[in-house]
Amino acid sequence: MASDETAPEHVEIWTDGGCKPNPGPGGWGAVLRFRGVERELSGYEAETTNNRMELTAAAAALEALKRPCKIVLHTDSEYLKNGITRWHTGWVRKNWRNAAGDPVKNMDLWRRILDAAKPHAIEWKWVRGHSGNPMNDRVDILATQARETRGG
């Protein structure tokens, strides 16, 4: 049996992203919770889409981890959850083409997420947005503040 020092850390992550208008200025936010400590991350892009911000939040959160972890990542983006749990294997098999044969949108971010996810065991959980989930509301606020203040 592994000692506590070698067992993977358990991390809870919540992510959100958006822009207004879409496309337009965007922001993303993430909260990582580990051993009772929370870390907030957020960022801004001048010209982007909602989907790109959702993906950027997940990529940045995973990239912030320094060692392999057991993660539950919460997102209100069905695009992110379905892309990572259902669609990406087909895209990779088809050389990053979708079912219609067109290049996959946001391929750079999907690859970034897949690379960042490799060392981890991740459970991807979808949560309904704007439904009173305190952590989802919190990352929504982080993303909105990043957009409105241009990241700082």
DSSP-based three-state secondary structure for 96: coil
DSSP classification of residue 97: B
DSSP classification of residue 12: E
Tell me the two tokens of residue 17.
């992203």
Selecting among 43, 45, 54, 83, the annotated active-site residue is 54
74 included as an active-site residue:
no
- Domains of the chain by range and CATH? 9-70+82-148 (3.30.420.10)
Q: State the Cα–Cα distance between residues 129 and 106, nearest whole angstrom.
A: 22
Selecting among 17, 27, 29, 83, the annotated active-site residue is 17
Query: What's the pTM?
Result: 0.93
54 included as an active-site residue:
yes
Of 110, 146, 116, give the one whose Cα is nearest residue 29.
146
Task: Return left, alpha or beta for 2; rule: phi > 0 is left, psi -120 to 50 is alpha, else beta.
Answer: beta
Please tell me the predicted confidence (pLDDT) of residue 5.
Answer: 56
107-117 and 50-63 are packed helices; what angle lies between their axes, rounded to 10 degrees?
A: 20
Selecting among 26, 27, 29, 140, the annotated active-site residue is 140
Report yes or no: 58 and 115 within 8 Å, Cβ to Cβ: no
9 included as an active-site residue:
no
DSSP annotation string for 28-53: EEEEEEETTEEEEEEEEEEEE-HHHH
Selecting among 45, 74, 76, 83, the annotated active-site residue is 76
4 included as an active-site residue:
no
Selecting among 16, 27, 29, 83, the annotated active-site residue is 16
Please tell me the predicted confidence (pLDDT) of residue 129.
Answer: 84
Selecting among 101, 130, 132, 152, the annotated active-site residue is 130
User: How many Cβ atoms from other residues are within 10 Å of residue 89's Cβ?
Assistant: 10
pLDDT by residue, tens only, the chain of 152 residues = 344 556 678 999 999 999 999 999 999 999 999 999 999 999 999 999 999 999 999 999 999 999 999 999 999 999 999 999 999 999 999 999 998 999 999 999 999 999 999 999 999 999 998 788 999 999 999 999 999 998 66
